A and B are shown apart, each in its own frame.
Chain A
Amino acid sequence: MKIALLPESFSVSGGIPDPFDSPDKSPFQPLFASRVSAGFPSPADDYVEGGIDLHRHLVKNPAATFFAKASGDSMQLKGIYDGDLLVVDRSLSAKTGDVVIAAIDGELVCKILDLSNRQLVPANPSYPPITLCDEAECLIEGVVTHAIRYL
């Protein structure tokens, strides 16, 4: 694995940059393509891009997004395992096939939405589907857009 290096001359001046200053700024330092030696500047440094800000990539609607922790094995076949970090967006309207968070009997659950059969379907055959009652729409708490696993 190749690791990009910070130039030797890299220094922090004017105070440490504020990574949380504004949502537009990336909290990541730019990576320089090469080690800078005195005298000859690297021709690649003109092509420096901002780092990849995962948060901005994963969270499209910050005000409507919350994180949740998956528990149990009922969503295994969809690739969601115990302990996964789920990104949940409330601003999306849930469609059939979406992985959703719903409130069932006072518990938050993660299942696949099936609107035509009015069911919440687990992604594991050893669990039965949950039938939705009439006001089911208001029980959907958000659409899961990403699952992040700790390895």
Chain B
Amino acid sequence: MSNSVPLTLAEARDALKARKISSKELTSALVQGIAQSRGLNAFVTETPERALAMAAASDARLAKGEGGALEGLPLAIKDLFCTKGVKTTAGSRILGNFVPPYESTVTQNLWNAGAVMLGKTNLDEFAMGSSNETSAAGPVFNPWRAKNSNANLVPGGSSGGSAAAVAGDLCLAATGTDTGGSIRQPAAVTGIVGIKPTYGRCSRFGIVAFASSLDQAGPMTKTVRDAAILLGSMASVDPKDSTSMDVPVPDYEKQMEGGIKGLRVGIPKEYRIDGVPADIGGLWDKGAAWLKAQGAQIVEVSLPHTKYALPTYYIVAPAECSSNLARYDGVRFGHRTSGSVHDITELYEKSRAEGFGAEVQRRILIGTYVLSAGYYDAYYARAQKLRTLIKRDFDKAFESCDVLLTPTTPGPAFGVGEKTSDPVSMYLNDVFTVTVNLAGLPGLSVPAGLTENGLPLGLQLIGKAFDEGTVLRAGLAIEQAAQFQHKPANWWRAA
């Protein structure tokens, strides 16, 4: 088997079940492919021995006609999920050599279903970023480059390593997490599929916390079908996460079938914003036409508070981050300053200043400020009220439609270093995705076309709470119409 494995999760699953290939063959090819692709910096930690041992165990189960839904399928795991006995960094120096003594519920669900772990993927530090440039492990490069250019582009963020690994065929699929767009935005700019499920669909237990009321895990895959397969195994109610919902996990692969005849697709007019390139608006119109041609009914809807979503997010998320990240104290685990300290406060202050990068420190300071005495009502309380208004906009829109269609990002992948000096311009990458987190809804990005420069763009489908099935069904319709078969030129593999 060649070291480039263009198989989808569904194709590999069927080939394994039919005993046409073994998990060991599949896994060894990917392990070698990863080792040859270190130039992308997609992985923080590779776990080849563990991968091959898991593959051998899967082959033994498959030989007996046994095995779970993901038996023998090699996956990459965002390094925000705690994995028992395997170093977990969250892309930060502050975690030092932290080796979790426990497993996150989502990854445990995957291993229970028979999946194989290839390694842990790079990410923006604590998942804070839209370009994967804030990682302590260095930036990830997008497998895609613009036509006639050798310039490195960012893979989006924060799940940039997972996105690059899927787009570059270094794994069959990967896990991501999404707090403001961190699955959908990198998926869009690397030409892959990514879904952030409804808040409460996947357990957050064992995922390094950023903003607890917004964080959700989800799959990053090559196709919509693969997203349906992987989400079915990731989702569960969990006694260890009181916000995980006790609702049955449907068979998403079945739910996405049946076509979209009669489906009412809403087009939110406020998503036509100034300064967005013509390619994006053109692709959006095309997406609506594709759905209409398959029998959907297109309706214009209004989400009047859209423009307030990003500033609302940049109060709520830093506030929650400043509380969550208070746990890093240099005492119980993670980095501790080796400098001389006079008292415990200085130990905290120095360890944290050395361990956290610039963007994380900025957000901790914002969060501390907006939660501090005298400012709470002006900032945090007001932002939480805005959040109610944003959620109501969606409730209202869903009275006249079943799913919303929007662009995923305001532009394609940009250059490394291009936006790092201006935080607000970086934040604007999430303008179309962040509303979905604030309202807790499911959102799916599907690759839908290329810019004139040959870079991928995605379209986003937003659904009602716990209606991932409809989102996937509409996503499948976009996928079938778009026929996005493009692959990045393979410039990064060492011989």
- Answer whether A and B are interacting partners: no
Interface residue ranges, B against A (CB under 8 Å): none
Interface residue ranges, A against B (CB under 8 Å): none
